[in-house]
Structure 1
Amino acid sequence: MDDSKKRIITEETLKRTVEKMNPVLIKSLPASPEEILPYAQRRTDPVISSNLSSELAERMRQSRLSDEDYLATLFLSMYDAFYDKASSMSPTASVLIAQTGAGKTNLRKILLQRNPNSIIINSDSYKKFRPDADELQKKDPTHFGALTGIDSYDHAKNIVDFATSHSYDILIEVAPSLQQGMIGVNMEKLRQCQYSTRFHVMAVGDLISALAVHLRYENELSVSKATGDAKLTDLKRHNESYMAVEKVLTGLDPATISIYRRGTDLESRRPMPIYNPALSPIQILRGARMASNQLYINDGFEKDYNLILEAMRRRNAPQAQFDQLANIYKMYENYVEQNVSIEL
């Protein structure tokens, strides 16, 4: 497997794709389809996390879109991402880093308030534009995120490459990987394009985020009939991204890193920055993670777990989802046994 090997979609495929799409949408893209085509690159042999089973990895490869569907999904995603946005004279990049389920959405809202002109780079947001999104979700909701992952990461890479080449402000959401690092973040290109880059990190315990993935999923299913919008992240992928956060921070300039904790109910769940000049960003990250896990163990986990379990029973959830929830409960039991205690 080699992420560096890529190919470009042909002009013949471009022509067929454009002919089938809404001409108003095509005219509303940030550039002509011909100008976008060089950015529509696909990995020929993508790296897949070794934490995933070989059976799931093969299904991920088999679920990749045809070139025509891939390009149509890219155009829909770009129309959505670049709508009413303009390029910048002094481009900035805000990189939002956290494991899945850590609450990146709330922090993204804060960062967007500071710069509403930013192009949001979020691989999850492109999945719903796939023509087979609802079908995949109904067939295997447990692994929907993984099955759509290869194409959605490639779409994110395409979009960020176009945005940086045209000096748009960008906000990149990253659930990092141990093997691939900050997926979709090309630090060398950001430097070459003279971007001012800052890193914003959510410091949230793995127990909280693992269960939050299930809470979010149940909420999405209850409020949306568009099942392609709902995604249940695989626990192995969650755990990998949790471990990878600290790894990707190593080597970054500490002056460019901001660490945030989850806000309390009294703080309207608004992420709050943590300031402690006596500690490094990684030390702050570790302390805040441990503290948040301990608080959740003392108050909140059992209630949320039972709410999820009841919702899953009502909808007769697949056994694989019950198994994953059971593994999260084992994490909780292990933390209780260890009697985790730390003061930030």
Structure 2
Amino acid sequence: MTSSMFAQELDQPAPIAQAPLTWRETNRAAPAAGQLEIHVVACGVCRSNLHMIEGDWVDGGVPAISPIIPGHEVTGYVSALGEGVTGFAVGDPVGVQPLWSSCETCEFCVSGRENLCHDRKITGEHVNGGYAEYMIATAAHTYHVPANLDLVDSAPLFCPGITAFAAVDKLTIGAGDTVAIFGLGGVGHMAVQFAALTGARVVAVGRTPEHLEVARELGAAETVDSRDPEALARIADTADAVITFAPADAVTAQAFDALKWGGTLVNGVALTLDGFPFNKAQTIHASVIGTRAQMREVLELAAAGKIRTVVDSFDMNTAGDVLTALAAGSLRSRAVLANPGVTTA
């Protein structure tokens, strides 16, 4: 095994316009006990990558190391096994989601809620991630990818997929219910599909024509341009549940306007509440990533053809350009960085 690889490294957070990522040769670590190495095929590009790269989370200790390799929705082939790893073999197609590790002993880990572990580590934020040729993963948080799934197309299942599934899973909805989804990017386009699978009527709300078109393709019964006050007024007080993936107070206000009295809001992003009306008896659920059990359900649904990702693929060495496009809002759905020609470990 060679001791080097190419990766996108961040030395110091800075605006993406200043090109803070560098595609360069760097150290290729060997897997320790309980770990495995992945020959990376693809890594999805998440807005949270942009937040970290631009320094929005420095006060919270992210990035935790320098230099760091971003990227937390990763697919590839197992290329090496650390001591004690079982259940995987070199050449297995696998994936990794944002939850890189958890302590396995706290009240959350032992009750199947490891996404709430206080000692969790996030892929590409606390440890090196998938904007690289190779990545080290924790075996306990690595997933077998079904053989019938394309690894480039599957990368977004490991962040938008699990995040959207966990949000919808917090709702008790079905035929006769209406669910409005606000924010139709990478996560939102998956949430439309999971909500539609329940039998509920899905209303997709966004401000980008391309995002609205994708939502219609994926099963939304109605799409609403969030820039159109009249269209928003027509869905006021009509939704049994709303899900928000756009971290803007204006969007939160739109979501509450659409929500019926007694309805439920699930937020997958930060929100600010101003004068929350107790007399409407509405419920708020926050949702963060998802559990290992939920991740496996997402992969099963994808393998069965019940959900799909909408992706545009770019070479791994173009990460800076892709993140610039993400910041400008010019991506149709989910961008994925790929290492050309990777077909085996």
Is TM more than 0.5 here? Answer: no
Q: Please, what TM-score do these two structures have when normalized by structure 2?
A: 0.30
Q: Which has the higher helix share?
A: 1
